[in-house]
Structure formats: C-alpha cells, structure tokens
Copies of this chain bind each other. A is one copy, B any other.
Amino acid sequence: MARGVNKVILIGNLGQDPDTRYTPNGNAVVNLNIATDESYKDRQTGQLVPKTEWHRVVMFGKIAEVAGQYLRKGSKVYIEGKLQTRKWQNKEGQDVYTTEVVVDINGQMQMLDSRGSDGGGASQSAPAGRPQQSTPAAQPQNSPPPAQSSGYNQSQPSQGSSMPEPVDDFDDDIPF
C-alpha cells in the first residue's frame, strides 16, 4: 500500500558473524553489521584515506535463515532493504533512536563470495559459532537492543535445512 519509496542498496562486508535470534514462534531474526568502504585519495597528500561506513542490518524470515547459516565475519554481501528508525530507552531511561536497514519479504540478499562465505563449511562451524554478542557497531555505546528484542532466544533453530536455498522472492508469513 506504500505511497512512497524507501529503498536501501548495500554491498559490503560483515564486521562480525551474524547474530541470529528466534521469535517465540520460531522465526529467525538476524542482525548484521555491514561495512561499506569509501576510501578516497587525499588531494593534498595523495594518500588513500580510509573511510568506512557501518550499517546495522536486520533480516527476517527465510532470508534471515540463509544469512545466519551462510554469512560469516568478512563475507561480502549485497542487500536490498528499507530504512527504519526505532526508538528505545537506554539504561538512563533516555530515548535513543537507532536507524536500521530492514530486509524483509520485499528485500533481497545475495552472497557475493565465491561459493557462500566459507566454501560450504557453514553448517559445521555454525553449531559452535553462533553465540557471539560482540560489538554491534554503527550506533555503539549503550548499544541498542536487537530489533524486536522482546522474548528472543538465541539457540532454537527453526529447522535443520542443509541446502542453501537461495532467497529473494518467496512466500513468507512474517507480517510487515
């Protein structure tokens, strides 16, 4: 029903492994931090000045499952989503606003590494490798709760699919 357009397109690399959580009804929600590089040459010195922009990305549904399973720290990825700003309260009770790129059923994701992030070893490394909570970046310090944090749990996998099943058009059940 949108009477507007709200579109974000990013190509960048993950700053850390995805943070996967699950809604009470078992839907995956994945938080990513994606760096887009815009290093530029200083016109005085001719030096290459590094300039990195960090983006908080939240994924839902089937895309989230694939992302959680196959993306890893350093993975290069294309994502298409929309801008959304959430309000939450820090421990001092102050309103804080966090802007995220939301990738839902209307969004898209493409893994841009040779074949998945780590050559198929995704499933092996996964069991041990998901518990990081690490540096959320982008809006750090008093870092915001993950999107829709109410009652997530971080372990229960929604199902044990083993094939990648590339995503981006799909029939999903998460209401946005």
Contacts and interface: CB of A to CB of B under 8 A. Distances in A.
Interface of A: 1-13, 27, 35-41, 43, 48, 51, 53-55, 60-61, 76, 78, 80, 82-85, 94-99, 101-102, 104-106, 108, 110, 112-114, 138-142, 148, 166-169, 171-172, 174-176
Contact of A76 (B48, B102, B112): B112
A27 to B, nearest CB: 7
Contacts of A54: 85
Contact of A43 (B11, B80, B171): B171
Query: What is the count of identical protomers in the complex?
Result: 4
A56 to B, nearest CB: 9
A2 B169 contact: yes
A146 to B, nearest CB: 15
23 contacts: A1-B39, A1-B168, A2-B36, A2-B166, A3-B37, A3-B39, A3-B166, A5-B10, A5-B12, A5-B80, A6-B12, A6-B53, A7-B9, A8-B9, A43-B171, A51-B176, A76-B112, A83-B99, A96-B96, A97-B140, A104-B172, A105-B172, A112-B112
